Amino acid sequence: MAETIGTVEILDVIPEVDISDSVKEFAGTNGDYYAREFKKVQSSKSGYCWTFNFGSAVFGPLWATARGLWGLFWVFSLLEMVFLVMLGLGVWGELGADKFARAERMQTNYEKMMTRAETAREQGDEEGAASFEKRAENLAKARDKATAEGEIARAGGTRLLVIAILGLVLLKIFEGWIANIAYERQYSRWRGDRTVRSGLSWPIGLLGFVIIAFVYVVTLLRFTTASPPDFITEFP
């Protein structure tokens, strides 16, 4: 709104609302930091801006639970679990192990067939020797095929490892970026409803740790090991 006095136009200036004290009350620990970052978020037209929370980037789901952001906790946990499974498969997943084991069995049978062929030939049974040699030839082809498939699977493990590492790095950047934006949304809800979770709760953070530790361990055992424990595979 403007008021004109003579030739001078006087503009009403709307003072900027200082949310520092309110944010400090809401956030508790590191209140000054969140007051500064929330101002960045609120000053952006879209509600999205560059802001980075190192605590969230490092601790991810644990930070989310400690701050009461359970939706973010499940998103972070699920995405991290996907990349951790890929990482596990690439590091200790023994990709192609079943193919190499099959190739080894084929080699053993191949040697048996060749031994029988030699024995049959020594006994003057050329027809029997030829039959055993034919079987040995088929076993050799199957062995070579299984070995090749094993090598392909092993190479796939290397690709999985690279993708997993790159994915985790990008995910950590995302976790660090989205944290303050999501937390500012919670702060806005808290201003209208003081029952909304506020502050930093280490006990709840510990609960989040127990949840993800259990889920991560069970998932990694189930999908990255050749022989997962029976209690996992037999779970209904």
pLDDT attached to residue 172: 97
State how many domains the chain has. 1
Looking at the domain assignment, is residue 67 inside a domain? Answer: yes
pLDDT attached to residue 100: 78
Helix, strand, coil percent content, the chain, rounded in steps of 5: 75, 5, 20
Looking at the domain assignment, is residue 111 inside a domain? Answer: no
Residue by residue, pLDDT tens for the chain (236 residues) are 445 545 445 444 445 668 899 999 999 999 999 999 999 999 998 889 999 999 999 999 999 999 999 999 999 999 999 999 999 888 776 766 777 788 888 889 989 889 988 888 888 888 888 888 889 889 888 888 888 877 877 777 788 889 999 999 999 999 999 999 999 999 999 999 999 999 999 999 999 999 999 999 998 888 888 777 776 766 55
Q: Give φ, ψ of 45 to 5 degrees.
A: -65, -40
Looking at the domain assignment, is residue 78 inside a domain? Answer: yes
Q: Buried (b) or exposed (e) across 165-193, using 16+ Cβ within 10 A?
A: eebbeebbebbbbbbbbbbbebbeebeee
Looking at the domain assignment, is residue 140 inside a domain? Answer: no
What's the rounded Cα separation, in Å, for the pair 150 and 156?
A: 10
What's the rounded Cα separation, in Å, for the pair 205 and 209?
A: 6
Looking at the domain assignment, is residue 130 inside a domain? Answer: no
pLDDT attached to residue 61: 95
Q: Are 147 and 93 in contact (CB under 8 A)?
A: no
Looking at the domain assignment, is residue 27 inside a domain? Answer: yes
- Residue whose C-alpha is closest to residue 110's, from 89, 151, 138: 138
| Residue range(s) defining the domain that contains residue 67 | 2-95+154-233
What's the rounded Cα separation, in Å, for the pair 67 and 201?
A: 7
Looking at the domain assignment, is residue 217 inside a domain? Answer: yes
Looking at the domain assignment, is residue 194 inside a domain? Answer: yes
- Residue whose C-alpha is closest to residue 213's, from 37, 46, 59, 54: 59
pLDDT attached to residue 232: 73
